[in-house]
């Protein structure tokens, strides 16, 4: 279960995420706990509801993000994700649009690459899927210039694909442009 609010980016930081629920009683109890925690820690937030999702199997947590640099325009980020993204700072950046080579280099530039290759008996994860996803995100950003920021975190990757567990997109405000004669 996750809180749904445009003002709350880091849901787990304020008690807005709970996993491992097993039955309806758990759901009812956790709903109340989440609402209480969020109301106390983010009283100004508008709460749109709570999302109940199927639990994703464990895998490697990655992040794909984007923001607009004032000088370079849209920049894509890739790296280790989840709640430790700010702590580990294992990320790579590239300017949009990405080429296939850019996507490959971004992945290989991070320590996440060693984990993706498989280590200590772990299977190799789907690096090609991540490359394709980076290219699709780049294309989406090119085709939608109002996207100001976006992130998929965590993106859980497996040996055969990945699942976006959480994501957000922030659009630029539309401004009315008038030309005077």
One domain, residues 68 and 154: yes
| 40 lies in the same domain as 65 | no
Q: Tens of pLDDT along 116-156?
A: 999 888 899 999 999 999 999 999 999 999 999 999 999 99
Kindly report the pTM of this predicted structure.
0.83
Instruction: Report, as an integer, the average pLDDT of 156-174.
Output: 92
Assigned token pair, 104: 């490959």
**What pLDDT, in 10s, does the model give residues 10-37?**
888 899 999 889 888 999 999 999 999 9
Q: Quote the percentage of the chain above a pLDDT of 90.
A: 71
85 pLDDT higher than 90: no
Query: Residue 148, exposed/middle/buried by CB under 10 A (0-12, 13-18, 19+)?
Result: middle
The helix or strand, by DSSP H or E, that contains position 27, with its residue range, turns out to be helix 24-41
Can you give the residue range of the structural domain that contains 93?
60-171
**Phi (first) and psi of residue 59, to 5 degrees:** -170, -170
Mean pLDDT across the chain:
90
**Number of independent structural domains in the chain:** 2
CATH number at residue 150: 3.30.470.20
Residue 179 placed within a domain: no
């Amino acid at each position: 279960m996750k809180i749904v609010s445009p003002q709350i980016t880091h849901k787990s930081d304020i008690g807005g995420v709970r996993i491992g629920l097993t039955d309806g009683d758990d759901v009812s109890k956790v709903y109340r706990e989440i609402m209480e925690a969020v109301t106390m820690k983010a009283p100004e937030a508008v709460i749109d509801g709570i999302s109940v999702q199927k639990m994703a199997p464990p895998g490697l947590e990655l992040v794909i993000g984007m923001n607009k640099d004032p000088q370079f325009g849209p920049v894509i980020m890739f790296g280790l994700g989840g709640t430790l993204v700010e702590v580990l700072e294992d990320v790579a950046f590239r300017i949009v649009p990405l080429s296939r080579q850019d996507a490959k280099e971004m992945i290989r530039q991070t320590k996440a690459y060693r984990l993706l290759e498989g280590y200590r008996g772990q299977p190799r994860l789907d690096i090609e899927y991540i490359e394709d996803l980076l290219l699709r995100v780049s294309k989406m950003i090119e085709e939608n210039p109002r996207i100001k920021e976006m992130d998929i975190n965590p993106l859980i990757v497996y040996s055969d694909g990945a699942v976006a567990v959480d994501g957000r997109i922030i659009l630029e405000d539309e401004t009315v442009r008038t030309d005077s004669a």
